[in-house]
Structure 1
Amino acid sequence: MKRSRQEPFTDKIYRFRGIILVISIPLLLISFVLFLMPRVPDGGDAVLSADGDLIGHRKAVPDRRASHGSKSYAVIFDAGSSGSRVHVYCFDENLDLLPIGKELELFKQVKKSLSSFASDPQEAANSLSSLLGEAENVVPPALRHQTPVKVGATAGLRQLEGNTADRILQAVRDFLDEKSSFKFKSDWVTVLDGTQEGAFQWVTINYLLGKLGKKYSNTVGVVDLGGGSVQMAYAISEKDAAKAPKTADGEDSYVKELFLKGTRYYLYVHSYLHYGLLAARAEILKEGEGHGNPCILSGYHEAYNYGGSKYDASAMDSGADFIKCRRAAVKALKVNDSTCTHMKCTFGGVWNGGGGDGQKSLFVASFFFDRAAEAGFIDPKEPVAKVKPSDFKDAAKRACESSLKDAKGTYPNVEPGNLPYICMDLVYQYTLLIDGFGLDPWQEITLVKKLKYGNSLVEAAWPLGSAIEVASSL
């Protein structure tokens, strides 16, 4: 049988050249486009940028961390109006917290704030010395040179006049440059603006609760009551974000767009300067009725010092009065301010964010927790407590009925300097929640000091959000 002649391979290519061209040209074009596209690291999480506005991706396994056992540290100083605190965190390559000894963070504090050294910037810087030593003791020597140290000053420094804050910050920069063994950059010592503080706090609490990466409606809102300012932050819908009022030049916008763990969030955040607990005392004392202040416990006749000014803090002859104190607190908050030009405001003419699912679960931190514990309606040994705003009202009524002498026995955990103001503080906190932020008196809220992460408790404070940002950039 005669065998047929097999067609050479080159002849087959030539005979089907038209079909090959039709197929190969689109494939080449697609390959070229894919080659030019920017790559996003696999498994990376997006994180908050240093200015609190922009978000970038971090590598899933950064090479520099891998060479040191996949560990990195971050040291964050919180220079608040009521004292300075240092937080040290340790992260693995996935930005999960690792233990430092038996805890998931080092937390130490001193009671003197940077702003209390307004006349002596060098002494302000030196006040951080013991905290720096504590931080250096827990970071391995081989990792200190690559461990970032940041200082975030908050409302206390924001309120200093002239160039006092700048002089203090420069003294702190010089101190760290000379004394610290950590990685240091001059712009890592700064005064946080209120929206940064609020955004970092929101990131911290939702990170610890495992909420990041979920829908905005599954996240929790945050109210953080510091000494000089109070922040509210919660995630809102894209539709509500588009309705956000424009702010005046130089003012922070109401909405920050964040991209965290693959999810885009529109974060309503606003900081109210002068309405932290210690600053609010000054605002309320201004509203006194001329013959003593209705928020001061009977038996007290001194001056209140805040922000370089003195305010008369004398009690009325009849003692504190809950109703009159409430009236003074509402007036200080400017609840009925006619400057509100939006659909709905909180106080002082500020847009309230529109509400929604991101605010339905509210975590309330800092001085709210402290005063509730000192007033005795939550257990100070428990890091989280479920309460209602009305609990602050009930506690305030009891406190306002006390004299200074009786209060010493009733409130043994209140520091002597705060005791005359226990009625005022509780009245203000209730007024802030109800009249300021518009909460229902019987709405359940969560007071939080620390949150459980794994088998440990972590301080629920903004420095963790800042540490997540800086650790992700290493």
Structure 2
Amino acid sequence: MGLTWKERAFTALLGAAAVSGLTTLILFLVEATNVLLPADTKFGIVFDAGSSHTSLFVYQWLANKENDTGVVSQALACQAKGPGISSYASDPAQAGESLQGCLEEALALIPKAKHQQTPMFLGATAGMRLLSQKNSSQAEDVFAAVSRVLSQSPADFWGAELLAGQDEGALGWVTINYVLGLLVKYSFSGEWIRPLEGTLVGALDMGGASTQITFVPGGPILDTTTQVTFCLYGTEHSVYTHSYLCFGRDQMLNRLLAGLVQSSPGLLVRHPCYHSGYRGTLALAPLYGSPCVQAAAPRDLGRNLTVEGTGNPGACVAAIRGLFNFSSCEGRGDCAFDRVYQPPVRGQFYAFSNFYHTFHFLNLTSRPPLATANATVWEFCQRPWKLVEASSPGQDHRLRDYCASGLYILTLLLEGYGFSQETWGGIEFRKQAGGTDIGWTLGYMLNLTSLIPAEAPAQWRAQSYGVWVAGVVFLVLTLVAILGATAVQLWLRD
């Protein structure tokens, strides 16, 4: 006796479910391919402990690298409250406490699962260099206090160290060339490329206690003590760099004032770099507390000094020139000042930190001709103090010093480093480039990523979109066939 139509329907639906289910299994398993998941993100924390303040930066990069160097971006910038850590020499514990706020902000940004894998480093610059010269035990106490606080955090603390001036200059050069895309950049064709060597720019940095110049010269570097070599993104770079301790903005102002005190008969100093009509008092003792000030201290250090401004830019320049030893380089084409070897400047330069802050205040960051820049600074120096105060409210503690700083920068760049009217146009005064702060910290992090092993991208099994859609369709057909067969079977029982 033959099967009824209900039994035939049940058999057909059961067979269809089996075929559709088998097809679904084949599509999901046999046609699956290996795909690369996005690389894991790594983080790093760097403290820049400068002479006047401390800044924290958080950087991030993908675990797979380009020619052994991470492609790094800035994720956070935070300025710690209070002065630089060298200012806490008499109370070292406060140096560590001053970093807590920014550290908490950084750890809140970085996922907790990555805290223990996040390298953290503190580099101290010229302020701590001076403290180490003045009182090495105090400097050691400050570093110990800072290390205690940072080592208690969940991040991987790599140490707190004194950064050499040469490293500060060279790493700043790495930073500016990296953010400008001159070391490596992503092409439209989807490949990482390295621009030509001749496109690299020089770096001009000025902190509170030191200033640095770094660039690729046109010929060999004859003094190897001024040469630093990097290997980044598979390419080797050799740069000239020199750091001038005591030639930073704040130490220059102290040295300038100490020189004027020495040439004044009493405790009244007529300051040519301060605006006419300015009058102020300050304590004498702190002025002679820095190793940079080598002038003989007056006997009555406990008394206050009265300073009056005369607003004379010509006399101000003469006093500033007294801070340099230009005569030691006379007749030499490869010398800057104070007998320091320097090849002739070459190419484009980026000037940042106090170079930028001073020229930004003076509205000189739009690359005006040298004559315009010079005339602007001189005109500002000759303004009466009341006019200057009225036009710039809220900037009292720095306001009196912009004239001296502007003339000092012009003297340093032109007479010191050897820029001319022709090469002046190649200097750009910037605080940031590509949304990233310019300084040594990013260069340090780029160099650090070459020491951290790269990770291979994770693999996963996945289907193409078309295969995935077909698999879903057959899965639905399988379920429909099974449900149909179940219904028919129940009908047969009835």
TM-score normalised to structure 2 length: 0.71
In the alignment, the residues of structure 2 paired with residue 313 and residue 363 of structure 1 have an alpha-carbon distance, to the nearest angstrom, of 38
- Report how far residue 170 of structure 1 moved: 1.1
Amino acid of the structure 2 residue aligned with 1:226: G
- Report how far residue 423 of structure 1 moved: 1.1
| Residue of structure 1 in register with 2:364 after alignment | 377
| Residue of structure 2 in register with 1:8 after alignment | none
2:390 pairs with 404, 409, 429, which one?
A: 409
Are 2:322 and 1:351 equivalent residues in the alignment? no
| Residue of structure 2 in register with 1:230 after alignment | 211
Q: Deviations over 1:58-103 (max 9, x none)?
A: xxxxxxxx999421111000010110100001111232235xxxxx
Contact 2:125 2:163 in 1 (8 A): yes
Contact 2:232 2:447 in 1 (8 A): no
Q: Deviations over 1:300-327 (max 9, x none)?
A: 232374683599875446x121000001
Matches within 5 A, 1:270-309: 270-288=242-260, 289-290=263-264, 291-298=269-276, 299-303=278-282, 305=286, 308-309=289-290
Secondary structure of the residue aligned to 1:236 is: coil
- Report how far residue 425 of structure 1 moved: 1.0
- Report how far residue 218 of structure 1 moved: 1.6
Secondary structure of the residue aligned to 1:134 is: helix
In the alignment, the residues of structure 2 paired with residue 441 and residue 114 of structure 1 have an alpha-carbon distance, to the nearest angstrom, of 40
Secondary structure of the residue aligned to 2:322 is: helix
2:443 pairs with 465, 469, 472, which one?
A: 465
| Residue of structure 1 in register with 2:201 after alignment | 220
Are 2:91 and 1:120 equivalent residues in the alignment? yes
| Residue of structure 1 in register with 2:150 after alignment | 176
| Residue of structure 2 in register with 1:368 after alignment | 355
Larger Rg: 2
1:323 pairs with 314, 320, 332, which one?
A: 314
Contact 1:150 1:184 in 2 (8 A): yes
Change (3 A) 1:68 1:126: farther
Secondary structure of the residue aligned to 1:473 is: coil
| Residue of structure 1 in register with 2:417 after alignment | 437
In the alignment, the residues of structure 2 paired with residue 146 and residue 462 of structure 1 have an alpha-carbon distance, to the nearest angstrom, of 22
- Report how far residue 265 of structure 1 moved: 1.9
Q: Deviations over 1:234-282 (max 9, x none)?
A: 1135x522xx136xxxxxx111122222322221000000001111111
Length, aligned pairs only: 376
Amino acid of the structure 2 residue aligned with 1:167: D
Instruction: Determine which structure has the larger helix proportion and give its number.
Output: 2
* Higher RCO, Cα 8 Å, sep 6+: 2
Contact 1:204 1:460 in 2 (8 A): yes
Matches within 5 A, 1:48-447: 69-92=39-62, 93-94=64-65, 95-97=70-72, 104-110=74-80, 111-160=82-131, 161-163=134-136, 164-178=138-152, 180-185=153-158, 188-212=159-183, 213-237=194-218, 239-241=219-221, 244-245=222-223, 253-288=225-260, 289-290=263-264, 291-298=269-276, 299-303=278-282, 305=286, 308-309=289-290, 314-316=306-308, 319-336=310-327, 338=328, 343-355=333-345, 359-378=346-365, 385-412=366-393, 415-441=395-421, 443-444=424-425, 445-447=427-429
Change (3 A) 1:67 1:308: farther
In the alignment, the residues of structure 1 paired with residue 248 and residue 379 of structure 2 have an alpha-carbon distance, to the nearest angstrom, of 23
TM-score normalised to structure 1 length: 0.74
| Residue of structure 1 in register with 2:432 after alignment | 450
Q: CA RMSD in A?
A: 2.4
Amino acid of the structure 1 residue aligned with 2:375: D
Any unmatched runs of 5+ in structure 2? 1-35, 184-193, 298-303, 453-494
- Report how far residue 127 of structure 1 moved: 0.6
- Report how far residue 473 of structure 1 moved: 1.7
In the alignment, the residues of structure 1 paired with residue 216 and residue 359 of structure 2 have an alpha-carbon distance, to the nearest angstrom, of 26
In the alignment, the residues of structure 2 paired with residue 137 and residue 420 of structure 1 have an alpha-carbon distance, to the nearest angstrom, of 40
- Report how far residue 292 of structure 1 moved: 1.9
Secondary structure of the residue aligned to 1:286 is: helix
Contact 1:148 1:470 in 2 (8 A): no
Secondary structure of the residue aligned to 1:136 is: helix
Contact 2:344 2:418 in 1 (8 A): no
Change (3 A) 1:354 1:281: same
Amino acid of the structure 1 residue aligned with 2:449: A
In the alignment, the residues of structure 2 paired with residue 363 and residue 412 of structure 1 have an alpha-carbon distance, to the nearest angstrom, of 29
Amino acid of the structure 1 residue aligned with 2:216: A
